[in-house]
């Protein structure tokens, strides 16, 4: 692959934009927030971040999702941590979200509108979590 120029990047975006608009009906209302403090980075949050973006791409979700980073969420013992905020779902902080479970998160929470029970560490009321 030769070095891409900024013009080529613009063209690629224009091409992708067309594809995205066709399926972007709900708007970008899903937020995925990855904890990227010292604790998160040491536990592999950077790889998790990459894996989430790759999974979103795979499941055609990139047009609807905003992926952000934050510092430590205070759950250093279960890093990497990922918070998901989306309509009709309780905000959830997932822990132990290593890159190998990133796709499970995308499929379960974002696609199927369900919860990835085994990784929930904060936010939802205890009565909706099945253990």
Helices (H), the chain: 6-23, 38-42, 45-58, 102-105
Least distance to another protein, CB of residue 130, Å: 28
CA distance 46 to 37: 10
Comparison of 61 and 101: residue with beta carbon closer to another protein: 61
Residue 8 structure tokens:
């080529």
Q: Is 21 in the site for another protein (CB under 8 A)?
A: no
CA quadruple 100, 66, 123, 126: dihedral positive or negative?
A: negative
Which of 23, 26, 29, 42 binds another protein (CB under 8 A)? It is 42
Residue listed under structure tokens 């795979």 = 58
Q: 46 near 80, Cβ under 8 Å?
A: no
Q: Is 2 in the site for another protein (CB under 8 A)?
A: yes
Stretch touching another protein by CB under 8 A, among 51-59, 79-87, 88-96, 114-122: 51-59
Chain residues in the site for another protein (CB under 8 A):
1-4, 6, 9-10, 12-13, 16, 20, 28, 32, 36-38, 41-42, 46-47, 49-50, 53, 56-57, 61-72, 74
């Amino acid at each position: 692959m030769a070095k891409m120029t900024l013009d080529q990047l613009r063209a690629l975006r224009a091409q992708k934009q067309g594809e995205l608009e066709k399926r972007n009906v709900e708007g970008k209302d899903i937020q995925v927030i990855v904890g990227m403090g010292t604790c998160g980075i040491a536990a592999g949050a950077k790889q998790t971040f990459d894996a989430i973006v790759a999974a979103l791409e795979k499941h055609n979700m990139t047009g609807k999702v905003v992926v952000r980073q934050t510092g430590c969420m205070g759950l250093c013992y279960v890093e990497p941590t990922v918070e998901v905020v989306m309509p009709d779902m309780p905000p959830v902080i997932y822990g132990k979200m290593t890159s190998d479970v990133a796709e499970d998160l995308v499929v379960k929470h974002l696609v199927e509108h369900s919860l990835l029970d085994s990784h929930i560490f904060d936010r939802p009321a205890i009565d909706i979590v099945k253990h």
